[in-house]
Structure 1
Amino acid sequence: MAALRVGLTGGIGSGKSTVLAMLAQAGAAVVDADAISRATTAPQGAAIAAIAQRFGAHFIDAQGALDRALMREHAYRDPLARKQLEDIIHPLVGAESARQVEAALASGAKCIVFDIPLLVESGRWRSQVDRVLVVDCSPETQVARVVARSGLKPAEVEAIIAAQAPRALRLAAADIVICNEGLALDELRHEVVQAARRFGL
């Protein structure tokens, strides 16, 4: 039987990373597109040479990684730059994701969970997964959690939330929703185990 492919998404501060770790503990193979993307722009990352060639060596910091702050500022001012950066990174992420999927299938995984922060926004992912699992909570809870862990100001977190897909759009795309509102860790784990059973784990 083919492995079930599950797309996991949720807004910032929803607890998506915690749910991902719990699904992995339940036996799911995990493909973290975000972590793969970050690795491509880390020191000696697969995207570094192409970024330096396209944008200039000053976008690479002293450690040999992408200068994220400089690139963020540049991409914010120039939407074309953002697209050019995505054109470099996305194929690399796709190739590494495919490699990890092959490894998971070879090891007999029953379920592969793709951690996709922009699942709803990208549009292309929905056709590549069998189920969409959304981790949800109120915007107030998102702000409180992110402020507590990151030191960002509430207005900064609200701006990040506003830039992500609207909550209603995420929920509309969901096959399964885990409501992570006011749950203790054990209660959240219970919800994740229930979802994992539906995925054959």
Structure 2
Amino acid sequence: MDGYTAATNEKSIEPHCGGQHPMLSSRPMILVGLTGGVATGKSTVSRMFARCGAVIIDADALAHQVVEPGKPAWRAIVKTFGKTVLNPDRTLNRQALGALVFRQPAQLRRLEQIIHPRVAREQARLTKSAGRKDPKAVVIYDVPLLFEAGIDARVDKVIVVTADRPTQIARLNRRNGFTRAEAIRRIRSQLPLKHKAAAADYLLDGTISRPRLFTAVKQLYRELLALA
């Protein structure tokens, strides 16, 4: 793994010494979970992997799909949280729903129980399809709540994108307009980043420059491609 350090001039990618995930031999390709804390740079890393040729499955995009108006998850959300979480066009008002659940852990768990199983089924379908098209595919499953939802047990390797707390807060303020208190509340709604990093197979530093980060991603992609 010394090549990673040389490529980035620092340890922006590190193999984790423990907690390795067994390869899932029932699939021909390699399925890699990509996660991190909120505003650590995970989406940027995902786009970089796509540029390298990886197949990207975006959990957030799937979550949007399964809650489209009239679908079973949408009906369950309306029944559970009421019509106040809907826009006039019957789509979910994500800001209103987020404000409700992120202040109440029990409500957040109820929402996750509605959405996660349906997203998991769609992810499994897309992964199987990618394997049929290319048995040597590197499939990156971009999922914010990988550990929280137990998805780490279903992937071959885990990549965690890290950033320090001040960077996360600054990005949430710039990107979402969150106050410091709101940003901290959103950060704390997820598993602590240090716990995710401790369970990762690979770490990517989401605070380094984009060119250096892309160099690190390309190096890691070559490593994963060799494992596929």
TM bucket by the smaller chain?
A: 0.7 to 0.9
1:186 to 183, 208, 211: 211
2:28: which partner in 1?
Answer: 2
- Quote how far apart the aligned CAs of 1:168 are: 1.5
The answer to whether 1:12 aligns with 2:44 is no
Cα deviation for residue 42 of structure 1 reads 3.8
In the other structure, the counterpart of 1:118 is: 145
Match of 2:223 in 1: 198
SS of alignment partner, residue 121 of structure 2? helix
Report 1:92-107 matches (<5 A): 92-107=118-133
Give the alignment's TM-score, normalised by structure 1: 0.86
Counterpart CA distance in 2 for 1:59 and 1:84 is 15
Normalising by structure 2, we get a TM-score of 0.77
1:25 aligns with 2:60: no
Give the number of equivalent residue pairs: 199
Going from structure 1 to structure 2, the CA distance change for 1:56 and 1:13 (only over 3 Å counts) comes to closer
- Per the TM alignment, residue 176 of structure 1 is displaced from its structure 2 partner at its CA by 0.7
In structure 1, how many angstroms separate the alpha carbons of the residues matched to 2:118 and 2:178? 31
The match for 1:143 among 148, 169, 175 is 169
CA distance change for structure 1 residues 143 and 190 in 2, over 3 Å: closer, same or farther? same
Residues 42 and 129 (structure 1), Cα distance of their counterparts in 2 relative to 1, 3 Å cut:
same
Go from structure 1 to structure 2 and tell me whether the alpha carbon gap of 1:110 and 1:142 turns closer, same or farther (over 3 Å shift).
same
CA distance in structure 1 between the partners assigned to 2:180 and 2:100 by the alignment: 24
Matched residue type, 2:90: G
The answer to whether the 8 Å contact 1:44/1:65 transfers is: no
- In structure 1, stretches of 5+ residues that fail to align are none
**Contact 1:42–1:65 at 8 Å: present in 2 too?**
yes
RMSD of aligned residue pairs (Cα, Å): 2.3
Post-superposition shift, 1:54? 4.4
Alignment of 1:34-53 (within 5 A): 34-45=60-71, 47-53=73-79
Letter in 1 for 2:140: V
Q: Which has the higher contact order (CA 8 A, sep 6+)?
A: 2
